[in-house]
Amino acid sequence: MILKLAWNNIWQKPLTFLLSWLLLTVSVAIISVLLLFQQHFEKQFSNNISDVDLVIGAKGSPLQLVLSAVFHLDAPTGNISYAEAEKWMRHPYVSTAVPLAYGDSYKGYSIVGTTNSFFQKPGIELLKGKLNSADFEILAGHAIAQKLGLQPGNQFYSAHGNDAHAETHNDHPYTVTGILKPTGDVTDNLLITNLESVWKMHEHGEKHKHEPHNKDALRHQHPQKATDSRELTAVLLKFRSPVAAIQLPRTINEQTGLMAAAPAIEINRLFSLFGIGIDVLKAVGIGIMSLSALSIFVALYNSLKERKYELALMRTMGASRSKLSWLMLLEAGALCVAGMVTGLVLSRIIIWMMADKLQSDYHLDISPFIFQIPGELVLCLLTTGLSLTAALLPAISAWFINISKTLSHE
């Protein structure tokens, strides 16, 4: 009965309560999207670096080297000599070394040349077909195979860089031999072949070798197999001992022409920078939520002033003080629940609409159909607390309503 009465009171002032509901919905949706995005961002970046202790590449920005070699999100810092890199790949402190050579793509997805050591990473298994065993045979990650409709036996020509409309290598087609199971990391969006395929694809590159001018040009700076040297883009190392984490980066950076970058350090730095933006947007969301609470307070307070006579009559007809106060709290609670539900649903719709873009551009596989615990639980409690606080003063006023004075004034 009291719930129905609260609901009817809300519909007596639809525009006022609609504004409060909209503000609440928008604020919950903003904060929920940020929580989901932050959770997936940190989880997937952490997963990708879990088996990489050190990245070796050409001199440049350490963060750029990690983003390009581990996450394939940035241009590489350049190429390095295979012979020089091999010394560190065979170092006694190194348990696993994964050489990488890339610079080409197919429809915007990176083609990575590597060795069988790449497949030693936990979770990388064949879904169908067979592993690539010959030159110009290639494996497709699960996500890319689904998007491009790749199947074992398909052939395609690669293109320079990561631009889907770049110049195509028409000399050698790649043949898809297998599809990998989903891993939930960057492997899902890669095309994987052997090092020799990448080198042979660019043997003609020596004829028109030029200096890169910008990041886009660096993407076109392919690893090349010259007459007396081969080149890699980067090497991913896993250490045997924690001592290596102290000695190897310093030795490589100080005594060689290579650069060593620790993914854990660089990604923590990226999280710190990224976290500032997240915190600012969360503050904006909480600000909007506070405005919503203020709007609920104003709506309920004005409603109380207009309904004093009605509430006094209810008291004379036997309604208790607590029932009148509960009526105010229920109106705020109904708005709160409606705003939370629509806000959470809206956040899922936003994530669902952004999912393809995030996966193709940033290799982030974000599912909208999960509940971020404890973040969203705290968000719901915060929303409920603010809404009930906004209704507290009107509820107290309803409790102490003076029946005789109110009725005599009317």
pLDDT tier, 205 (very low <50, low <70, confident <90, very high otherwise)? low
Looking at residue 346, what is its pLDDT? 93
pLDDT of residue 215: 46
Return the pLDDT at 409: 63
CA distances from 217 to 75, 92, 154, 320, 338 (A): 9, 36, 29, 77, 52
Please give the average per-residue pLDDT across 129-151, as a whole number: 89
Q: Tell whether the model's pLDDT for residue 217 goes beyond 50.
A: no
The residue ranges of every structural domain in the chain are 1-45+270-408, 54-202+229-261
Would you state the pLDDT for residue 163?
67
Q: Which two tokens stand for residue 136?
A: 């110009």
CA distance 200 to 224: 8
Residues 77-88 have a mean pLDDT of 89
Residue 324: band (very low, low, confident or very high) from pLDDT cuts 50, 70, 90: confident
Nearest CA to 222 out of 151, 280, 150, 169 is that of 169
The pTM score is 0.71
Residues with Cβ within 8 Å of 77's Cβ and at least 6 positions away in sequence, in order, are 57, 58, 59, 60, 61, 64, 65, 68, 218, 259
pLDDT bin (cut points 50, 70, 90) of residue 99 is very high
- How far apart (Å, rounded) are the C-alpha atoms in residues 382 and 376? 10
Write the DSSP symbol of residue 177: E
Return the higher-pLDDT residue of 140 and 7.
Answer: 140
For residue 173, the tally of other CB atoms under 10 A from its CB is 13
